[in-house]
Amino acid sequence: MYKICVFSTIYSYRWVKKCENIKIDNINLQIYIYDDLSHLEKLFLEKVKTYDGVIFSGQIPYLHIQKQLNEYFSTIPCAFFDITERDFYYKIAEIQYKYPDFSFKHCIIDFLYKENNYLSLKDILLPEDFPYILGDSIDVFGLPNAYEVVYEAHAKLWEEQRIRFSLTRLTNLYTYFEDDNIQPILVTPTFDSMQITILEIMKEIEVVNLMNSQVVAGYLEFSMSQNDPAEIEYRQIALYKSILDFNRKLGTSLITYRSAIHYELITNYSDFLLITNNQQKCSLAEFLREQLSFKVKIGWGIGKTLQEARIQAEKAATYCTGSLTESYILTKENHLIGPLDGDTSIAMKDFDNDKLEEIAKNTNLSLLHLQKIYGLVYKLKKESLTAEELSVHLSISVRTASRILKRLEEFNYASPVSNNVTRAKGRPSKLYKLDL
């Protein structure tokens, strides 16, 4: 059973509540009402750990949480109820029937932007007949004062007598016009489009669950300066005890197998992310450094099968060449991550955080994600990545990684390049050359 929560204002609840009547197997839907955006932040932080997915009633709350709480936003599938072309043209037919003098060039439509292809209206109308819009990008809804910006855009056009109709997605916009005798026309998602959104987020949840069900193996090998049976036995016992103590401390359940001078661990992907702090810092390595007087090589392997994960883990351990206990990861795509020392941004001479902040502002992407991507490029010594590679290293879905790369491409911070590596099945993964 997938648990999905829906965040709505009291104004939007009038149409959002229709989603409670949507009958989809394995879905448990709960609606929460928020008073303002600060209240929404508190609710989101409270619910994000207990639900599998989140749906927002519109663009403003979605973009606000994406911007303000991105580190939590990116850990769970999120979406917002959007207006489809079918919803839009159904409403336009209704408006034209009710108002025979309706014309597009004498109205403002605040939910048209390039991200939804202007609902194909640009393909139908001549430029001189196109309606007024807020701007070419959905980003305007992510501004801190988005409600005021939308209202002022409508009010200015009314004041200048350029329009006779206001089409809006904001259910509370009418409250801004109460003293002006202006009644905006509200356009909301239909029952069918809400059902489509719920089904889409259900698919994203299934993808996340599939990732979490990947097999992860650990390979722990302790160092031996000489072939001393008594010392080997001591180190075996000491390491095994430390693994048990670590399990109790963190609350994980690492399945442990003992061999001559190494141990094998088996765990699930979600526990692995917990142990490695989303593949950034290995808490097991830290714990063993404190508990043991000898070095331990820790390799983590991710695979589709247990055998594949074990092979990757043993390979990863060979990269532990330092003098202290350290940890590396080798994914099923043979991508090496490590050492997991927590320094994800890496001390790089040419690291320009001001530049990344500028890119974050231009693209509306998370600065933390950009820093991780930059650190990843530096660490792997490769400038080109696929969405699949990015998803593994950032612990996000492939779909989200693809959106990030496409967003960077849109602003000329990434460009698609020829990918000569093909997969056994399906199309080759699209490769992007990054320019950060």
| DSSP result, 241-264 | HHHHHHHHHHT---EEEE-SSEEE
Rounded mean pLDDT, 174-179: 86
Question: Does 215 score more than 90 pLDDT?
Answer: no
Rounded Cα–Cα distance for residues 85 and 243 (Å): 56
Q: How confident is the model at residue 353 (pLDDT cuts 50, 70, 90)?
A: low
pLDDT score, position 393: 65
Q: What is the mean pLDDT of residues 299-309?
A: 88
The answer to whether the beta carbons of residues 8 and 32 sit under 8 Å apart is: yes
Q: Provide the pLDDT confidence category of residue 196 given band limits of 50, 70 and 90.
A: very high
Q: Which residues contact residue 198 at a Cβ distance below 8 angstroms, ignoring those fewer than 6 apart?
A: 4, 19, 22, 24, 27, 29, 55
Domain 213-337: which CATH number of 3.30.70.270, 3.30.420.40, 3.20.20.140, 3.30.9.10: 3.30.70.270
Domain boundaries, the chain: 2-82+199-210, 85-188, 213-337, 353-434
List the helix and strand counts (H, then E) for the chain: 16, 16
In angstroms, the CA 371 to CA 17 distance is 40
Res. 8 pLDDT band, cuts 50 70 90 = very high
Task: Give the pTM.
Answer: 0.58
pLDDT band at 378 (very low <50, low <70, confident <90, very high): low
Which residue has better confidence, 153 or 351? 153
CA distance 226 to 212: 40
* Residue 343 scores a pLDDT above 50: no
Q: What percentage of the chain reaches a pLDDT higher than 70? A: 91
**What's the rounded Cα separation, in Å, for the pair 77 and 397?**
9
Per residue in 248-297, pLDDT (tens digit) is: 888 877 888 887 678 999 988 878 888 998 888 899 999 999 999 999 99
Per-residue pLDDT, averaged over 386-391, amounts to 81
DSSP state string for 207-246? HHHHHHTSEEEEEEEE--SS--HHHHHHHHHHHHHHHHHH
Residue 352's pLDDT band, with cuts at 50, 70 and 90, is low
Taking the C-alpha atoms of residue 420 and residue 428, their distance in angstroms, rounded to an integer, is 8
pLDDT tens digits for range 28-38: 999 999 999 99
Report the pLDDT value the prediction gives residue 24, as an integer from 0 to 100: 86
Question: CA of 340: how far to CAs of 95, 131, 170, 189, 250, in Å?
Answer: 59, 53, 46, 45, 18
Q: What's the pLDDT band for 181 if we cut at 50, 70, 90?
A: confident
235-244 confidence digits (pLDDT tens)? 999 999 999 9
Give residue 424's pLDDT.
40
How far apart CA 279 and CA 282 sit, in angstroms, is 7
How sure is the predictor about 77, in pLDDT bands with cuts at 50, 70 and 90? very high
Q: Does domain 2-82+199-210 have CATH number 3.40.50.2300?
A: yes
Which of 2-11, 86-95, 148-157, 396-405 is least confident? 396-405
Confidence of residue 427 (pLDDT cuts 50, 70, 90): low
Q: Domain 353-434 - what CATH class?
A: mainly alpha
Would the pLDDT of 100 be above 90? yes
**The pLDDT of residue 269:** 83
